Amino acid sequence: MSTPKPWSISSWRNKPIKQQPNYPDQKALAEALEQLRALPPLVFSGEILDLRQQIANAAEGRGFVLHGGDCAERFVDCDAQTIVRKLKILLQMSLVLTHAMKKPVVRIGRMAGQFAKPRSSDTETIGDITLPTYRGDLVNDLDFEKSARIPDPQRLLTSYYHSASTLNFTRALLYGGFADLHHPDHWKLKFMAQSPEFERFQEIADRITDAIDFFESLGGMQNHSLNRVEFFTSHEGLHLDYEEAFTSMPPRRDHYFNLGAHFLWIGDRTRQLDGAHIEYFRGIANPIGIKVGPTCSTDDLCRLVETLNPEDEPGKITLITRYGAEKISEYLPKHIEAVQKTGRRVLWSSDPMHGNGSKTSSGLKTRNFNTILSELRQAFEIHTNAGSHLGGVHFELTGNDVTECLGGTEGLTETDLTRSYESGCDPRLNYTQSLEMAFLIADMLRE
């Protein structure tokens, strides 16, 4: 094993970098970052270390990681009902999985910071007009206007305040009894009664309530363990100026932490071994996700794992695979075998969303439920055949009643998509599709 090179918070600045906005006013950027560094952290190092332990448990088969949320958060969606609906669907899904596995489910939301998005092109053209591409609300605005697409440093501070508000409200809900297992029926969404999965969820909720009543009557359960759950936040660590501003060594710790989220991941477009993102991520103690697609060679994958976790610390690395249903059988077995040969400990997670995008005849981006399910089924089978363990799933989803992905028990078709298509970037599973997916995953885990 080679000796790691010296690292500092800003050593990434000496490396080639991709997917960064071009700010026309560098002085305004510096001032915004200085203000950001002076603000309180969003999360605590103890929470981060707790998540790492739970991920380590899941990697060993003693738990499962459910990771989900928006493709890209929007400032306009930072309202109570949107946050409640997102939290409810993740709680419902985790309850279904816990009931099936009889093991803990680790809940990680793509929220309270998922405001930046990598893009395949620096520009976007509509008609005769070409403008800078939308890179998420952290950077610019979705409106197709020249002034809206100019990267604005003040958005870094706006992102902080929206993240803090989302996290504060989420914590208040969870610590205030919102996730009380005595009343899982309270988690229902108001439009859930029309869902084909409603009766299945209600049956599970009733069984759990009956079991709790029974054990409490025997004095065998502690109330505090039933009326709250742990919930962690995550986002793609894309905008490195922003991420650096959250990075520090907390008191009584001997490692640097990014205190802007519990979990961060490196995208498929920014995992270059000699790049700035890998340089930044190798110095922080947070659990790290690596998106792994068809363009990732087995050699690069093994080197990434070693570079980001040279001491092979448990719970540090999650490999989030995203190949596409037609390619997973070609690439996943090779990647599993390569990592197994190194003997290094990782959590394998499947992201069946990102490799399965398509466009409708009208040019609208979408995904097909059955194609997503196909990649997920293959992932479970391939891991089992390889003597490996799929310990998590990663979805872009929402608790809203949107129509962005085709199929599912609702039978959404192309003509349905325009009814309620709200995503500014990639299509998400809606509440019914998400809950249906949870039941199907539960069936796979039982098998």
Q: Is residue 20 part of a domain?
A: yes
Give whole-number Cα distances, 158 to 112, 137, 138, 233, 242, in Å. 12, 9, 8, 18, 12
Residue 5 lies in a domain: no
Q: What is the pLDDT along the chain (447 residues), one digit of tens a residue?
A: 566 789 999 999 999 999 999 999 999 999 999 999 999 999 999 999 999 999 999 999 999 999 999 999 999 999 999 999 999 889 889 888 988 888 999 999 999 999 999 998 999 999 999 999 999 999 999 999 999 999 999 999 999 999 999 999 999 998 887 876 656 655 665 555 666 666 776 777 777 666 666 555 556 555 555 556 899 999 999 999 999 999 999 999 999 999 999 999 999 999 999 999 999 999 999 999 999 999 999 999 999 999 999 999 999 999 999 999 999 999 999 999 999 999 999 999 999 999 999 999 888 999 999 999 999 999 999 999 999 999 999 999 998 889 999 999 889 999 999 999 988 789 999 988 998 899 899 889 887
Domain assignment present for residue 252? The answer is yes
**What per-residue confidence (pLDDT) applies to 176?**
83
Q: 382 lies in a domain?
A: yes
Residue 410's pLDDT is what?
86
The separation between CA 129 and the C-alpha centre of its own chain, rounded to angstroms, equals: 34
Cα distances from 111 to residues 170, 234, 266, 364, in angstroms, run 10, 6, 16, 24
What does the block give as tokens for 103?
């093991």
- Whether 1 is in a domain gets the answer no
Cβ pair 350, 394 in contact under 8 A: yes
Structure confidence at residue 200 (pLDDT): 73
pLDDT, one tens digit per residue, over 376-400 is 999 999 999 999 999 999 999 998 8
Domain that holds residue 64: 11-446
Distance in angstroms (rounded) separating the CA atoms of residues 94 and 100: 10
The values of phi and psi at residue 244, to 5°, are -60, -35
Report the predicted TM-score, pTM, of the whole model to 2 decimal places.
0.93
pLDDT at position 3: 67
pLDDT, residue 66, reads: 98
Q: Quote the percentage of the chain above a pLDDT of 70.
A: 90
Look up the CATH number of the domain holding residue 364.
3.20.20.70
H/E stretch holding 317: strand 317-321
pLDDT value of residue 228: 64
**Residue 4 is assigned to a structural domain of this protein:** no
Among 73, 70, 69, 68, smallest CA distance to 136 is for 73
140: three-class secondary structure by DSSP: coil
pLDDT at 175: 86
**Token digits for 12?**
């990434």
pLDDT at 255: 97
Burial class (CB in 10 A: 0-12, 13-18, 19+), 121: exposed
Dump pLDDT digits (tens) for 270-298.
999 999 999 999 999 999 999 999 999 99
- Assess if residue 439 is contained within a domain: yes
What is the C-alpha separation between 105 and 107, in angstroms, rounded?
6
3 domain residue, yes or no: no
- What total of structural domains would you count in the chain? 1
